[in-house]
Structure 1
């Protein structure tokens, strides 16, 4: 059930039926119990996984979150109110929590999708605002050192995958808890899940450069296998992004295409709603290309398209 991945740090894979299907949670030993990093979704399957751990007699001291996506914060409220464990989030994460309690994310996301040439999400897609409806027990800021187990870790703000995403770095042991910022075998989706336009890909690429400066012997991601050469993985992912940016740029016509049209061409997907991540990745790349002057937007009857400028060089 628990796999020791470094001295005093255990990996627990929590399974659930939606999204990625599983999340890596990390339990860090301390004299007062374990610090848990991330929780899994608010689902019976995830709760059953944790109940099995708790039934073994393990004591949880606190829960600390890398970010507030559903698969990472989903059971935080349950831990606090049912298990009696304090929950610590970043101040930026708390802003996202308050926004999501009352947000109409589906409406905003639908407006964004339609504005960029797609069709609305089906109503059957669940939007569970209740998981955000609790008050955290503590907060942290960028570059603040927080105690995880018996060690101090630096909290490093790494926006892109989520606006409130943080990594945790132990300088003495050269351990990076990296959440969803860098994964071993897949690239994290850079999307606009709040339904608000921005430039998260620019934020993400800058954040990759930030964590690359920290020497890490072992990197603990939120999904999949551990990473033992973080700079190499970052270089690989950066090259993949550049390749995709070039594909998107080549797909943009001189007359203009919507993000939805370009997504179909680049990803050859049959159903954009079933492949919302591909749509989001395409849109955030277009917004990045717009920010660096490679494409420009046109708007007609409330629908946005992107027109290529003369150069195809990225």
Structure 2
């Protein structure tokens, strides 16, 4: 099944709704033989125990199965309002050798998560950002809304510059109720330096302090993670257009170290805020990507 859910295989399918349906079907089939059989119960009927909750509300049957503390959600909070937050920066359009771009990967993953939430009748909304936040679709669970979200996702194009910290602060002010924020981005700094890791972490803290649950899907191109280059190579910044020539062979070790440090700063910063951090690259099959997401949710539960 994993081979069928690889980015290369799904790239042959042009319609986003069909891609998402295949991902969800394969993912759910895989759950039946995995440690995540209790996923649907935890996801839709329970929420994680948080400091300040009444311990008498802990569901001990779920604890016995999962070794995690969950409380039964009251009827008023059963519906989890989710927002897909998509990075429209030009760097998201990068791909190596014509493979699925970072943005295509993100839209496919976002579409699959929309399907999953729609199956549970959870409202889902769509928000995009480049240099500022743009609300496209409010969160709804009505019949037909799934098609609206997927149609909007399919129309999006990554063409702008980005200011992630300012956009997240704007989003924190925009959200009027506790929500699940699913951020899809390569988290790369803008050419103005306004996407410094510390600034992004600070803006994520604003979202968390507003009572929101946050998941960061940090999606990079496979080439950005593995650096498969040799000899003299000229690189161009996708947003500024500036070019730089480097000896790729001599630069590789330093580059890979910087990438690992970059991801680690985000991993640690998100961990400190109880934000789920899911590092992905465009070679990862989508069922594995969703499983990575579930692992993060279980660890932070």
TM-score, normalised via structure 2 length: 0.28
Higher percent of residues as helix: 2
Higher percent of residues as strand: 1
